[in-house]
Amino acid sequence: MVAVVAMILFGGWLLFSGNGGPQATVRNLWDQGGFLPHGFYGLVMMMAIIMFSFGGLELVGITAAEADNPEQSIPKATNQVIYRILIFYVGSLAVLLSLLPWTRVTADTKSVRPDLP
């Protein structure tokens, strides 16, 4: 968790300090074809990955049996899930896609800055 937050903060620093290169801009999120450039089909195909990512959500029920005060701790943990998704999934993707347009990412792309090895 600390590593993901550090990556988001470092990426934000690269983005807003100008050290991310000339292609690093927030406009990359809606330029290059806009939101869902391959249509709704691309989003549907991502559902398998999204469902896999939330496969551990049933652990909340298992944890409820072991919690000292499940009436308070389980609703609190469940309500925090949306914020964790926004920070870790959406936040990291927004920073990465702002630093490098998705149209420039290929199998042989080595780094955000082309002058780095």
Residue 113 inside a domain? The answer is: no
How confident is the model at residue 70, as a pLDDT? 80
Is 96 part of a structural domain of the chain? yes
What integer pLDDT is reported at residue 55 of this predicted model? 66
Is the confidence at residue 83, as pLDDT, over 60? Answer: yes
Considering the domain boundaries, does residue 25 fall inside one?
yes
- Domain ranges, residue 62: 2-104
Residue 80 scores a pLDDT above 90: no
Residue 114: pLDDT over 70: no
Mean pLDDT across the stretch 9-26? 87
pLDDT bucket at 26, cuts 50 / 70 / 90: confident
Instruction: For CA atoms 105, 107, 109, 111, give the dihedral sign.
Output: positive
Q: What tokens were used for 35?
A: 């939101």
Taking residues 87-107, what's their average pLDDT?
A: 81
Q: Report the alpha-carbon distance of residue 114 to residue 101 in Å, rounded.
A: 13
**Mean pLDDT for the chain overall:** 78
Question: At residue 45, does pLDDT exceed 70?
Answer: yes
- Rounded to whole angstroms, the Cα distance separating 62 from 80 reads 17
Domain count across the chain: 1
The verdict on residue 59 lying in a domain is yes
In the chain, where does DSSP find H-type helix? 2-17, 40-53, 59-66, 70-79, 81-84, 92-99
Q: Which residue has the higher pLDDT, 75 or 109?
A: 75
Q: What is the mean pLDDT of residues 63-80?
A: 80
Q: Kindly state whether residue 23 falls inside one of the protein's structural domains.
A: yes
Residue 115 lies inside a defined structural domain of this protein = no
